[in-house]
């Protein structure tokens, strides 16, 4: 059984119980649940889960507020959050990602997909400290800040390398344009057009050649790097 601690937050006890049963069937045993926002926040900061499954419509403290609080607190900022919500409009998904969620799954959802997303987020967290990522002939050295393809250095600008680094450390995670701007600038980046990110992505794809195809456009939301089987070394 997996030892990772998973917290399920939903105001409906029956949904919490059903998700918990599915997680246990999938090999996860260290699970807690919370049915309101206040209890959820208390559990998060006392228990420090490895992953949070978060509903948005909660009593006392809503899900978006919880997400922002977790991601804005250094002690908990690296805990992956997967939003599970019946709110499926494009704006709802963007708002959840803007609040810091690592993933967003709309209800009803497939149990197999949920387990796959959980596994992906936990794997990303465990690999986040890697200094070098290798995939086929592509190598990203974070300490030396260089990228090589078949041993030949790829000339990237500061922003292009930062974007690639963000994607490579979190494969599969969707980033909105404003999120990427904020990560690049260290603030909200509102004085620069969000579409400026599109130019960076186009240039990055060109410079990466055949590997550029792994940077996927998520229509109406932003970008992500497709998850691939890679050989990661420290």
Question: Would 188 be classed as within a structural domain?
Answer: yes
Cα gap 67→60, rounded to integer Å: 14
Q: Assess whether 179 and 150 both reside in one domain.
A: yes
Q: Assess whether 104 and 200 both reside in one domain.
A: no
Q: Assess whether 86 and 195 both reside in one domain.
A: no
Question: Would 152 be classed as within a structural domain?
Answer: yes
Give a three-class secondary structure readout of 203-218: HHHHHHHHHHHHEEEE
Contacts of 203 (CB under 8 A, 6+ apart): 157, 160
Is 230 a residue whose pLDDT tops 50?
no
Q: Assess whether 136 and 103 both reside in one domain.
A: no
The string of pLDDT tens digits covering residues 6-18 is 999 999 999 999 9
Please compute the mean of the pLDDT values over residues 145-159 and round it to a whole number.
90
Q: Assess whether 40 and 86 both reside in one domain.
A: yes
Q: Assess whether 11 and 122 both reside in one domain.
A: yes
The pTM of this model reads: 0.68
What percent of the chain is modeled with pLDDT above 70? 90
Residue 17 CA, chain-centre distance (Å), reads 25
Question: Would 12 be classed as within a structural domain?
Answer: yes
Residue 195 is predicted with a pLDDT of: 75
Q: Assess whether 103 and 86 both reside in one domain.
A: yes
Please tell me which residue, 118 or 230, carries the higher pLDDT value.
118
Please compute the mean of the pLDDT values over residues 52-81 and round it to a whole number.
93
Residue 203 is predicted with a pLDDT of: 94
Is 208 a residue whose pLDDT tops 90?
yes
Give a three-class secondary structure readout of 158-207: HHHHHHHHHHHHCCCCCEEHHHHHHHHHCCCCCCCCCCHHHHHHHHHHHH
Among 127, 151, 182, identify where a domain stops.
127
Question: Would 40 be classed as within a structural domain?
Answer: yes
CB 85 within 8 A of CB 63: yes
Cα gap 72→70, rounded to integer Å: 6
**Taking all residues of the chain, what is their mean pLDDT, rounded to a whole number?**
87
- Name the token pair of 111: 């149990």
CATH number reported for the structural domain that contains residue 220 in this entry: 1.10.10.10
CATH number reported for the structural domain that contains residue 108 in this entry: 3.40.50.2300
Q: Assess whether 117 and 18 both reside in one domain.
A: yes
Residue 8 CA, chain-centre distance (Å), reads 17
Domain count, the chain: 2
Residue 168 is predicted with a pLDDT of: 87
Domain carrying residue 20: 6-127
Beta strands in 16-174 (DSSP E): 31-34, 51-54, 81-85, 103-106, 132-135, 138-141, 146-149, 152-154
Q: Is 82 strand, coil or helix?
A: strand
Q: Assess whether 157 and 197 both reside in one domain.
A: yes
Residue 231 is predicted with a pLDDT of: 43
Question: Would 1 be classed as within a structural domain?
Answer: no
Residue 196 is predicted with a pLDDT of: 82
């Amino acid at each position: 059984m997996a030892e990772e601690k998973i917290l399920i937050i939903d105001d409906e006890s029956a949904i919490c119980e059903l998700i918990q049963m599915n997680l246990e069937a999938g090999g996860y045993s260290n699970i807690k649940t919370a049915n309101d926002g206040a209890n959820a926040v208390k559990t998060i900061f006392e228990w420090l889960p490895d992953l949070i499954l978060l509903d948005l419509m909660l009593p006392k403290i809503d899900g978006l507020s919880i997400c922002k609080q977790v991601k804005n607190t250094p002690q908990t900022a690296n805990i992956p959050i997967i939003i599970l919500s019946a709110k499926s409009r494009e704006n709802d998904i963007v708002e959840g990602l803007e609040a810091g969620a690592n993933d967003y799954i709309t209800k009803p959802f497939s149990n197999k997909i949920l387990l796959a997303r959980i596994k992906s987020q936990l794997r990303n967290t465990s690999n986040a400290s890697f200094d070098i990522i290798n995939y086929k002939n592509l190598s990203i050295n974070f300490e030396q800040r260089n990228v090589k393809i078949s041993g030949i250095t790829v000339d990237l600008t500061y922003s292009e390398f930062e974007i690639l680094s963000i994607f490579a450390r979190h494969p599969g995670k969707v980033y909105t344009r404003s999120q990427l701007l904020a990560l690049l600038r260290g603030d909200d980046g509102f004085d620069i057009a969000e579409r400026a990110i599109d130019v960076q992505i186009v240039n990055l794809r060109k410079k990466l050649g055949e590997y550029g195809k792994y940077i996927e456009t998520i229509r109406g939301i932003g970008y992500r790097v497709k998850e691939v089987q890679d050989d990661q070394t420290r």
